[in-house]
């Protein structure tokens, strides 16, 4: 009997021990689960905080510094169009700073914009190359974009600067093909804003394209030496028309408006530049638009939007220069109602074939970059009347 009682007591003791063990395990599991849930909640809270702290598109501040003024119907207006699209599509804040023609103030403007804490500072043209080089290295947290020019990456640490250059010679080559085929005098004209590689790239491409049609064609070349003096440009264009040129291509910013006026006054053709200049006159002055068969397009707007999209994707090659051409959609010849009406069908076919060949690398267009002053003079003299 005693043995039976002892057995019962031992059995009950084992059951109680087992139950206590189970209770402890249950409590530990519950505690672990609570800790896990607490950790997960903490992580979610941290993630929410990170999302809240990440800057929204509306927080991105961009300054567009223009080496001139808006209203050039060309290069600078195209840049403004690009940043306006960035503002509309992404909600970024954009301030446009028109710096005028006094280049001595450009570096101060770049410095002021940098001190104001913009996230991205965009600058136009070779006039801002030196100011960007002098300022950007002292503001490593700010991103700089210069278009139609490039900083000298060998001169310092410019890992926060992205440079865009354009293969304008490729688009100008197509304009040369068009002009040589449409000219009745076999004399063309070219007027540049300044004697430098950026402008001479247009000129050399134009000459080479024209020569591909007629090796003996003549091209009268000149420089306005100003990007906002349309009266002077008009005077020079009238002189070229009087010398027998019946189509003039001008790459001189707002000065080029003078060539368009001269074309209307004489009834000759003019080729626009940087933006689709015929369409700018389509409604306000149809008679003027009828004398612009095409424009050599430098799609600054599209390349700035492209750059911003790449920034968002984390793929923009900071610290480098990119040369963009026909194959990138960065340059080209305008195709509008006036082009379709004024340019003969067989000439359009030739232009399309040349454009495709350039994009595929089958035609290599000579560039002004890398040429000496003497080599450029030699090319100009070789086509002089």
What pLDDT band is residue 125 in, cutting at 50, 70 and 90?
very high
Residue 129 located in a structural domain: yes
This model's pTM is above 0.75: yes
Residue 313 falls inside a structural domain: no
My answer on whether 208 and 349 are in the same domain is yes
Number of CB atoms found within 10 A of residue 375's CB: 13
Asked if the structure places residue 258 within a domain, the reply is yes
Q: How far apart are CA 294 and CA 307, in angstroms?
A: 27
Largest CA distance in the chain: 139
Cα 160 → chain centroid: 17
Q: How many domains would you assign to the chain? A: 2
The label of the residue with tokens 């599509």 reads 89
Average pLDDT over residues 344-357: 98
pLDDT at 347: 99
Which of 141, 166, 191 lies at the terminal end of a domain, its last residue?
166
The whole domain housing 267 covers: 168-294+334-382
Confidence of residue 57 (pLDDT cuts 50, 70, 90): low
Q: How many residues does the chain have?
A: 385
Over residues 121-130, mean pLDDT: 96
| Cα 45 off chain centre by | 40
- Cβ(191)–Cβ(248) under 8 Å? yes
Q: CA–CA separation, 148 vs 8, rounded Å?
A: 97
pLDDT surpassing 70 at residue 33:
no
At 172, list the tokens. 């100008």
How many CA atoms within 13 Å lie on the side-chain side of 276? 12
Q: Of 114, 135, 166, which closes a domain?
A: 166
In this prediction, residue 237 has a pLDDT band, given cuts at 50, 70 and 90, of very high
- Secondary structure (3-state) at 220: strand
- Tokens read off for 250: 């001008």
Question: Does residue 259 lie within any of the structural domains?
Answer: yes
Q: Determine how many CB atoms are found less than 10 A away from the CB of residue 337.
A: 11
In a domain, 8, yes or no: no
Q: Look up the CATH number of the domain holding residue 340.
A: 3.40.50.2300
Residue 119 sits in the same domain as residue 247: no
Contacts of 338 (CB under 8 A, 6+ apart): 278, 279, 282, 289, 290, 292, 293, 294
Angle at 261 between CA 253 and CA 326, to 5 degrees: 45
Split at pLDDT 50, 70, 90, the class of 74 is: confident
C-alpha–C-alpha distance, residues 231 and 53, integer Å? 54
pLDDT at residue number 39: 45
């Amino acid at each position: 009997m005693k043995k039976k009682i002892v057995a019962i007591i031992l059995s009950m003791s084992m059951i109680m021990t087992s139950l206590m063990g189970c209770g402890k395990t249950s409590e530990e599991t519950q505690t672990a689960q609570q800790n896990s849930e607490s950790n997960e909640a903490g992580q979610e809270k941290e993630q929410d905080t990170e999302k809240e702290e990440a800057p929204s598109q509306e927080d991105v501040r961009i300054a567009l510094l223009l080496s001139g003024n808006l209203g050039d119907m060309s290069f600078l207006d195209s840049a403004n169009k690009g940043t306006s699209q960035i503002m509309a599509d992404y909600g970024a804040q954009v301030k446009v700073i028109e710096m005028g023609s006094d280049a001595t103030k450009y570096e101060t403007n770049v410095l002021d914009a940098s001190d104001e804490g913009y996230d991205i500072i965009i600058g136009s043209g070779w006039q801002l190359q030196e100011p960007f080089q002098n300022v950007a290295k002292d503001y490593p947290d700010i991103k700089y974009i210069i278009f139609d020019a490039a900083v000298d990456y060998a001169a310092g640490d410019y890992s926060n600067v992205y440079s865009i250059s354009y293969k304008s010679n490729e688009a100008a080559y197509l304009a040369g093909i068009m002009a040589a085929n449409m000219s009745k005098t076999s004399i063309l004209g070219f007027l540049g804003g300044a004697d430098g590689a950026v402008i001479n790239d247009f000129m050399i491409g134009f000459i080479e394209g024209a020569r591909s049609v007629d090796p003996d064609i003549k091209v009268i070349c000149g420089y306005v030496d100003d990007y906002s003096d349309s009266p002077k440009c008009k005077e020079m264009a009238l002189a070229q028309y009087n010398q027998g040129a019946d189509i003039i291509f001008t790459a001189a910013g707002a000065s080029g408006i003078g060539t368009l006026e001269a074309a209307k006054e004489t009834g000759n053709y003019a080729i626009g530049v940087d933006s689709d200049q015929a369409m700018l006159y389509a409604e306000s002055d149809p008679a003027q638009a009828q004398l612009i068969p095409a424009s050599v397009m430098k799609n600054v707007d599209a390349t700035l939007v492209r750059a911003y999209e790449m920034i968002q994707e984390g793929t923009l090659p900071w610290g480098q220069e990119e040369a963009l051409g026909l194959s990138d959609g960065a340059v080209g010849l305008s195709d509008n109602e006036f082009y379709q009406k004024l340019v003969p069908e067989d000439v359009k076919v030739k232009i399309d074939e040349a454009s495709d060949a350039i994009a595929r690398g089958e035609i290599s267009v000579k560039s002004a970059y890398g040429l000496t002053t003497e080599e450029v003079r030699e090319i100009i003299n070789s086509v002089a009347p």
